[in-house]
Each structure stands twice: as C-alpha cells, then as structure tokens.
Structure 1
Amino acid sequence: MAEQADRISPVQKLRRLMNDSDKIILGPGVYDGLTARIALQAGFDCLYMTGAGTTMSRLGMPDLGVATLNDMRDHAGMIASLDRSVPLIADMDTGYGGPLMVGRAVEQYINAGVAGFHIEDQVVNKRCGHLKGKELVSETEWYARIRAAVNSRAKTGRDIVIVARTDALQSLGYEVALKRLKGALELGADAAFLEGVESKEQGRQICADLAPAPVMLNMVEGGVTPHFSSQEAKEHGFKFIVYPGLALGPVYQSVAAACKHLKETGDTGNVYQGTQGQGPKELFMVCGLKEAIEFDVAAGGELYKRGV
C-alpha cells in the first residue's frame, strides 16, 4: 500500500485533499525556490505559486499583467519539481490570450507538473485582484477561456485541477460574479474563486450558493477581504485558502531592515541571526544540501564524500 501511495501523482493527491470533507487545503504563497523549500520543510500538504510574487521576484515589476506564459510556466515548473509528492497550485492569470493560448497554457502547465491552476476573467492587461479599476472580458469571452481550458485538458489525456476565478464582484456586483462562476463550473471547471470577498457573510454566501463545488479564498493581508483564519474559512464553507503574501511581507520587511542597517552603519550585523550560527550552510540544508550530497556519493562521486 505504501508503494502504491508513492505512485500517486500530485494532481491525484490534490483531488484527494479536495474530497476530504474534514480538511481545508492551505496554500502557503511561495514565489521562488527558497520560499518553496521553506514551505516544504514546514510540512504543508500543498503549495501555492503567487502570480504577484512571481512577477515581482522574476521581473522586479508590479502585478500588472506583464508576466508571460513563459515566465509563469518556467517558474511553476521549477517549484513543482522540488518535491513531486506535494501538489502545486499556480496562478495562470488570464490564460495569456485567446482560446488557443489558453489551451497552450494548460498543456504546458500540465507538462510542467502543476497540479492545479486558477484562471480569471480580467482583460489580458490585468492587475492584482486587490487593486481598483479592474476591467473584465465579456461573459462570452470568459466562457471561451473555460471551454478552452477544459478541452485542452481532455485533449492531453492527463489531469489538472481547473479553478475558475472571477473579478466581477468589484465592478459588476455579486449576482453577476455568481453567474460567471456557476457558468464556469457547468462548463467543467473543478472549483470556484470569487476574488475580493468583501465580508465574512459574503464568503459564507458564495460557498452556499455554489455548493457542493469547492470554493477558494484568497487571503491577502491588507487587501479588500477581511481576515479569515483557516478554521474560520473552513467553517464558512471554503475548501481552499491561499496566502499569496505569506513570504512577500516578511521578506520585504526583513531585507529592507538589513539594507537600511548596512547603509547606515557600514556593517551587516548578524544577517544569519536565528540560524544557530551555521551561516549559509543552514540555508543550503533547507534547499536540499544533504540529499544532493547523498545522491552524489551513491552514484560514486568523490567531491562531497567527506562532506562540506
């Protein structure tokens, strides 16, 4: 049985988590190899690749629709490859174009090892869901994106979880957003994602209105959505809760403080404070140093035989 469990694909594992009525899926927001490794070390069942974090870390730009399919796919593939036993849900933004591009994006995310993704109904030149002034495509174009995603998945003969996200709440209101999500689910999306939930009551309502479909909550600290703990989200009916800013905020604060200290004092202080005095080696251990050495030695390599 253990051997069979080892053969479960990431998407199979994600679907099992989705079918577990006692569980809410926590998606810690990661945006590069190091933050992904840290989350893996913490023992999460699932990872979430934030599009905003990917855009900022990979391009040094804000989340304004500038990341391309290649940017997002390559980043997602790298993160997914770090531990194939842990499913990755990745942002797919708008699908990067018309139906042909959406289909291509789905196929490439599958090939990259991504277990699930969310796709939204903003125009291609999108912006972060917690900024103002978002523009949406028509209902017809939105449904074409979902059909393209579902058809592309079927064409590959392989699986990936499709999460339909709408940003319609802010400009078109709850009923329109609900209609768009219901339509996407009817077309074959596996889960729904109402971006920018404005109250806890609204969160409970969207879960009830879409039941029994699983619903995702985007917990953006400082955004338009009130704070939910994972337990609160579960009690309100959500199946997923993702935290895109989990690593971004702490990294920004700590690195900004370290840069300020270096600029003002001409010294770094103890930049590895909290790593038991082991310096960079502790970080390398988080990123698989021990496993890399063991692999090399098992293959007959000599370079790391006596350690590092």
Structure 2
Amino acid sequence: MGSADTSTSLTSATTRNTDTATPKACSPLTGASRLREMLHDPSKVVVCPGVFDGLTARLALAAGYDALYMTGAGTSMSRLGWADLGLATLNDMRANAEMIASLDPSVPVLADADTGYGGPIMVTRTVTQYARAGVAALHIEDQVQEKRCGHLLGKQIVDRAVFLSRLRAAVSARNNLHSDMLIIARTDARQTYGFEEAVARLQEAIKVGVDVVFPEALQSHEEMAEMCRRMAPTPVLLNVVPGGVTPECTIEEARGMGFRVIIYPGLCISAVVESVAQELKTLKTTGTTSSRGSVGAGVSIKDAFNLCGLQECIDVDRQAGGKAYDTVNGEE
C-alpha cells in the first residue's frame, strides 16, 4: 500500500479542507462558484480524478486536487457490483454524489448524470436533486436510456431533438433554482454518426445555454484540437480513458489543444482493483499479508481513520465538552 511516511503525509493532508472543529475565515464560494471561477481563467485546466466512494474521494482531497469527478462507472461497480450498462438509478447516483460533495463543499464535484433518467420532467428532477446535493456540475448525454460506457461499442443515440429537450429542461431547472451549478452537454454521436454530427449537436447545446461541452470518444488528436477550436470560447471537457477510443495525452498536451476540463474516471478504479486483487491473492496463497513482518510498512487502520476525519471528530467532541474519544490516540 505504501510506506509509513506516505501514510503520515496522507493523514496530515486531510486537515487542509476537512477540519470541522475550528471556525476559520473561509471563502463563501460554493463548489459550483469555485468551478466557474477556475473556468474564467483561460490559463487554467481543471484536472479531476475519478472517485467513486468516500475513501477514494478522501484520498483525492488529501492529494490536493482542485476538483473531483464522480464516475458513473465507478459508482455502478462500487455500489451495485455491476458494469456500467445503465443499471444505476437516479437514487444511486445522487446519493453517492451528495456524500462525496459533503466531504469538502469548497472543492467542486463534477458528476455523471447519465441521460437524466427520463424525459424533461425526470431531467428536471435530476438537476434539482443534484443541485440540492451540492454538486458543482453534472453532465447529461444523448444515449438512449439503456446506455453504456462511452468507450464501448454499439451505443445507440437519440435524435438531436430529444437530446436538446433534455438540455433545455436541465438549464431551465438550474435557472429556476437560482443555482450556480454548471450543466455539461455530452454527446456520444461521434461513434455512430461521425465527427460533424457531434460538432453540430454541441453547437446547438451551447445555444440552449449549457456551460461546458463534452465530446465523448473522439478518435484522433486532430479531432480533439478541431473540436476545441469549433466550440471556443465554451469550455470543452476531455475524458481520458486508457485503452479507450480517444488517444491519450498529457495534461499539457490537452491544454495546448484547448481543453479546459480533464476527467480521469478510471484512475482510482484501476488502482483499487489491481492493489486489492494482489493483496487478496497474497493472503490466499501465503497465509499472510504482504506487509507482515515489515516494521512500518503498509497503511494501518488508524492511518485510514485519520485520513477519513478521525482527528476532526475527536476535536468536535472535545469542544462540546465530551470525553468519549480521549483514549483513541493512546497506546493500544
């Protein structure tokens, strides 16, 4: 998992944003307002690691990221144990987004909202619930309700008019709430109907009033740069999926093409699957864990608790006059 030094740095870093005990002067900006502020800076690229639960969100916060992305695929796999095939409902997604956003409301959380989960009325409900959950931005796509991951083959796309009706409902719902939440229009049309149709859909989406556009599964660096050129000055989001349809590039290369937001939905999923699978295999085959006998190696359960707010909870209890946790940090 890592060295003791790494554990210490992770746990101490959580106090940067998650101190609930000590009142302090802080910006009144919400996560959505902060995201808008970042996007107003033309030199800024908003980099969002994909998180899917409280632990991966805490790790990303401890690492100092300016924004987080709640991945729909990760939510489906972690909450349901199923691949991203449209099985997660509004309730699944909203609840996960709300929990992640609540860990540090000053850090913007961008969240997958799939197709909006229905027609205009349902899209309105989705946007309302996400906004009230503290989500800074959500994206709505143009796949059919029986959707699938954007980098899988065989996607089915709704008519342009249906897509735009979803977006109109989303923008209207957001405006009626007087919310700062950003609406992101995602199109998966490139695979089925070609690059020009993807461009046309996103240009129409901008006219509807969306804040950011998300062209999924572009197929070359040339397409990526051209999409940014045609969408300007509207911010364009890049989805980085290793092994997916879109060619990989560095953050600086993406900045040079014109992208303003970059999400890495599989970042934590891949790391968790690989590391946990290895630990389980080690215990199964050797009868012990990989860190046994190595003094200071690995991350202890106390390290994990500290990462997830143990000290802040102790401080809250003490300030209220309680003594319930006075022995928590003692020798055991």
Query: If the length of structure 2 is used for normalisation, what is the TM-score?
Result: 0.89
Instruction: From 183, 186, 192, give the equivalent of 2:213.
Output: 192
Instruction: From 21, 27, 50, give the equivalent of 1:29.
Output: 50
Which range is displaced more, 253-262 or 113-122?
Answer: 253-262
How far has the Cα of 1:277 moved from its partner? 5.6
Mapping for residues 15-94 of structure 1, pairs under 5 Å: 15-94=36-115
Asked if residue 254 in structure 1 is aligned to residue 275 in structure 2, the reply is yes
CA separation of 1:98 and 1:43: change in aligned 2, threshold 3 A: same
For 2:186 and 2:164, the matched residues in 1 are separated by 12
Asked if residue 222 in structure 1 is aligned to residue 240 in structure 2, the reply is no
Is residue 272–residue 280 contact of structure 1 (8 Å, CA) maintained in 2? no
Is residue 215–residue 239 contact of structure 1 (8 Å, CA) maintained in 2? yes
Mapping for residues 149-164 of structure 1, pairs under 5 Å: 149-164=170-185
Is residue 291–residue 297 contact of structure 2 (8 Å, CA) maintained in 1? no
CA separation of 1:179 and 1:70: change in aligned 2, threshold 3 A: same
- Aligned residue in 1 for 2:156: 135
The C-alpha deviation readout for 1:112-155, integer Å capped at 9, x for no partner, is 00000111000011000000000011111101000000111111
For 1:274 and 1:142, the matched residues in 2 are separated by 57
How far has the Cα of 1:268 moved from its partner? 2.2
CA separation of 1:108 and 1:274: change in aligned 2, threshold 3 A: farther
RMSD: 1.6
For 1:136 and 1:174, the matched residues in 2 are separated by 14
Higher RCO (Cα < 8 Å, 6 or more apart): 2
Is residue 124–residue 170 contact of structure 2 (8 Å, CA) maintained in 1? yes
The C-alpha deviation readout for 1:202-225, integer Å capped at 9, x for no partner, is 110000011110000000111111
Q: Please list every run of 5 or more consecutive structure 1 residues that lacks an aligned counterpart in the other structure.
A: none
Mapping for residues 95-174 of structure 1, pairs under 5 Å: 95-174=116-195
**SS in structure 2 at match of 1:242:** strand
Query: If the length of structure 1 is used for normalisation, what is the TM-score?
Result: 0.96
CA separation of 1:272 and 1:6: change in aligned 2, threshold 3 A: farther
Is residue 89–residue 117 contact of structure 2 (8 Å, CA) maintained in 1? yes
Is residue 56–residue 63 contact of structure 1 (8 Å, CA) maintained in 2? yes
CA separation of 1:290 and 1:272: change in aligned 2, threshold 3 A: farther
How far has the Cα of 1:46 moved from its partner? 0.4
List 4+ stretches of structure 1 deviating above 3 A.
Answer: 271-278
CA separation of 1:105 and 1:306: change in aligned 2, threshold 3 A: same
1:63 is matched by which residue type in structure 2?
A: D
2:237 is matched by which residue type in structure 1?
A: M
CA separation of 1:224 and 1:278: change in aligned 2, threshold 3 A: closer
For 1:300 and 1:211, the matched residues in 2 are separated by 56
Count of aligned positions: 306
How far has the Cα of 1:266 moved from its partner? 2.2
CA separation of 1:263 and 1:192: change in aligned 2, threshold 3 A: same
CA separation of 1:278 and 1:58: change in aligned 2, threshold 3 A: closer
Is residue 258–residue 271 contact of structure 1 (8 Å, CA) maintained in 2? no
Is residue 120–residue 164 contact of structure 1 (8 Å, CA) maintained in 2? yes
For 1:278 and 1:18, the matched residues in 2 are separated by 36
Give the share of equivalent positions with the same residue, in percent: 51
The C-alpha deviation readout for 1:184-204, integer Å capped at 9, x for no partner, is 110010010000011111110
